[in-house]
Amino acid sequence: MKVRELIKAFKPYEWEPSRKEISERIGIPEEEILRFDLNTVPFRPEEILKALSEKLPSLPVNEYPDPSYRELREALSEYLKVNPENIMVTVGADEALDIMAKTFIDPGTVALVSAPTYSMYRITVEALGGRIVEVLRNPDFSDDLEALIEQSRKPETRMVFLCSPNNPTGNLTPQEDAVRLLESVGCAVMVDEAYAEFSGTSLVNLAEKYENLMVVRTFSKAFALAGVRIGYVVASRKTIELLSKVRPPNSVSVTSLALAKIALEKADFLLAKAREITAERERLSKALSRIEGLTVYPSHANFLLVKFEKADALKVYMELLSRGLVVRRLSGPMLENCLRITVLDKASNDKLLGALKEILGGKG
Ligand code: PMP
């Protein structure tokens, strides 16, 4: 087969193994494995599923969905207090990234990322023959705004990817920094707010004002629907029209649309759950920072970045794994000897704390 040249040397996304694969590898039953590596919430939204089951018999699954996903956009418009024309629905946030890259990236052009950050930005850009330039964050993980502005002004730069709260560091891009960037550069600025509900802040209200701003959101995190695959973009009408040129017409399923709409009807409940998780995050963060040799970074998301000052993070990862506790390994600049831990329920988090104390015990 004749494949594209760039695919030959392509560095793909590192897929998380399935529960079944982990279970087979470590010999612990699937149901005993705790996933601290996926940044999803630790509960199944049963109320949403029950409401869907009532609607299922009348779902028009023999037809394609309304390609404009109008009903969901209208429900989102109420939730976000923006116009439906400012919203585009996608298959998870990841499809939104793909659509943006297809809109802005020509082979040989550049997209900037404020690194370290979510790896899919690189993958979507490089898959189209674009080049990623990593602008390394400041030591406190804040964006290096001056460097981003300088790089953005170069003619080959088409896009900047920001992530707020940032995966895996957990910090926010302050609104004034985002606004300065938006006002200083002409290129598109994507702000990934996949974890926004845990932070209580968002830039969606700026979308109509700044034509170069595209905010990406998802139902996968606080809305407990990662398996349903729904995301959306909030941007100016003009920018939504531009992105719509390459959006596939029917990628979101009728069942996913129905689930997302029900989730929005239950937004108060889900947002209350998100607040519980942020309270638990603070408890876990304090407890972890009491363990000697561990640095815990402040987080506005549902996960914590931790650095092992004395122990080897890979060894800690393996020890945790052997106990059925799966955390996220990390690599690359600024993340040396770090692991990422998703905040689960109190009982699960306590298991992790106990295991970490045991593993690090004595080593300080
Ligand atoms: N953006 C960030 C920052 C993420 O961490 C993730 C999921 N890990 C995504 C986007 C993808 O979200 P979705 O499930 O909506 O595709």
Task: For 123-135, write each residue's pLDDT tens digit.
Answer: 999 999 999 999 9
Q: What is the arithmetic mean of pLDDT over 49-70?
A: 97
pLDDT in tens, 21-48: 999 999 999 999 999 999 999 999 999 9
Query: Ligand 1 mean position to 310 CA, how many Å?
Result: 31
Burial of 271 (C-beta count, 10 Å sphere; 0-12/13-18/19+)? middle
Q: Are residues 189 and 154 in the same domain?
A: yes
Query: Ligand 1 mean position to 303 CA, how many Å?
Result: 13
Phi/psi for 321 (5° steps) reads: -60, -40
- Is residue 128 one of the residues assigned to a domain? yes
- Is residue 62 one of the residues assigned to a domain? yes
| Atom 4, ligand 1: residue with shortest CA distance | 194
192 lines ligand 1 (CB under 6 A): yes
From the list 292, 331, 286, 284, the residue with the least C-alpha distance to 308 is 292
103 lines ligand 1 (CB under 6 A): no
Q: Residue 248 in 3-state DSSP?
A: coil
pLDDT category of residue 14 using cuts at 50, 70 and 90: confident
Q: Are residues 259 and 308 in the same domain?
A: no
The per-residue pLDDT of the chain, averaged, comes to 96
Last residue in a domain, options 265, 292, 315: 265
pLDDT at 181: 97
Last residue in a domain, options 265, 298, 326: 265
Give the residue, out of 219, 220, 229, 300, with the most ligand 1 atoms within 8 A of its beta carbon, to mutate for a pocket test: 220
Q: Are residues 278 and 222 in the same domain?
A: no
From the list 286, 223, 26, 198, the residue with the least C-alpha distance to 34 is 26
Q: How far apart are CA 210 and CA 179, in angstroms?
A: 9
Q: Does the pLDDT at position 101 exceed 70?
A: yes
Q: What is the arithmetic mean of pLDDT over 140-147?
A: 98
Q: Are residues 122 and 253 in the same domain?
A: yes
Q: Does the pLDDT at position 343 exceed 70?
A: yes
Q: Are residues 259 and 287 in the same domain?
A: no
Please answer whether residues 277 and 200 qualify as being in contact, where contact means their C-beta atoms are separated by less than 8 angstroms. no
From the list 58, 46, 91, the residue with the least C-alpha distance to 257 is 91
220 lines ligand 1 (CB under 6 A): yes
- CB count within 10 Å of CB 172 equals 26
Q: Give percent above pLDDT 90 in the chain.
A: 97
Q: Positive or negative CA dihedral for 193, 197, 199, 203?
A: positive
Last residue in a domain, options 210, 234, 265: 265
Q: Are residues 160 and 247 in the same domain?
A: yes
CA 355 to chain centre: 27
Q: Are residues 99 and 126 in the same domain?
A: yes
Q: Does the pLDDT at position 363 exceed 70?
A: no
Q: What is the arithmetic mean of pLDDT over 279-304?
A: 97
Please answer whether residues 248 and 129 qualify as being in contact, where contact means their C-beta atoms are separated by less than 8 angstroms. no
Window from 9-18, 31-40, 163-172 with minimum mean pLDDT: 9-18
- Is residue 18 one of the residues assigned to a domain? yes
Domain that holds residue 233: 56-265
Please answer whether residues 161 and 191 qualify as being in contact, where contact means their C-beta atoms are separated by less than 8 angstroms. no
- Is residue 6 one of the residues assigned to a domain? no
Q: Are residues 228 and 116 in the same domain?
A: yes
Q: Are residues 232 and 279 in the same domain?
A: no
Residue 210 zone, left/alpha/beta (φ > 0; ψ -120 to 50; rest): beta
pLDDT in tens, 173-210: 999 999 999 999 999 999 999 999 999 999 999 999 99
Phi/psi for 342 (5° steps) reads: -75, 140
pLDDT category of residue 364 using cuts at 50, 70 and 90: very low
- Is residue 173 one of the residues assigned to a domain? yes
Q: Are residues 208 and 316 in the same domain?
A: no
Tell me the pTM: 0.97
Q: What CATH number is associated with residue 285?
A: 3.90.1150.10
- Is residue 25 one of the residues assigned to a domain? yes
Q: Based on the structure, what is the number of domains in the chain?
A: 2
- Is residue 349 one of the residues assigned to a domain? yes
From the list 79, 100, 86, the residue with the least C-alpha distance to 219 is 79
Query: Ligand 1 mean position to 220 CA, how many Å?
Result: 7
Q: What CATH number is associated with residue 224?
A: 3.40.640.10
Residues in the chain: 364
pLDDT category of residue 216 using cuts at 50, 70 and 90: very high
Query: Ligand 1 mean position to 93 CA, how many Å?
Result: 6
231 lines ligand 1 (CB under 6 A): yes
Q: Are residues 304 and 232 in the same domain?
A: no
Q: Give percent above pLDDT 70 in the chain.
A: 99
Query: Ligand 1 mean position to 94 CA, how many Å?
Result: 6
pLDDT at 129: 96
Q: Are residues 156 and 178 in the same domain?
A: yes
- Is residue 1 one of the residues assigned to a domain? no
Burial of 196 (C-beta count, 10 Å sphere; 0-12/13-18/19+)? buried
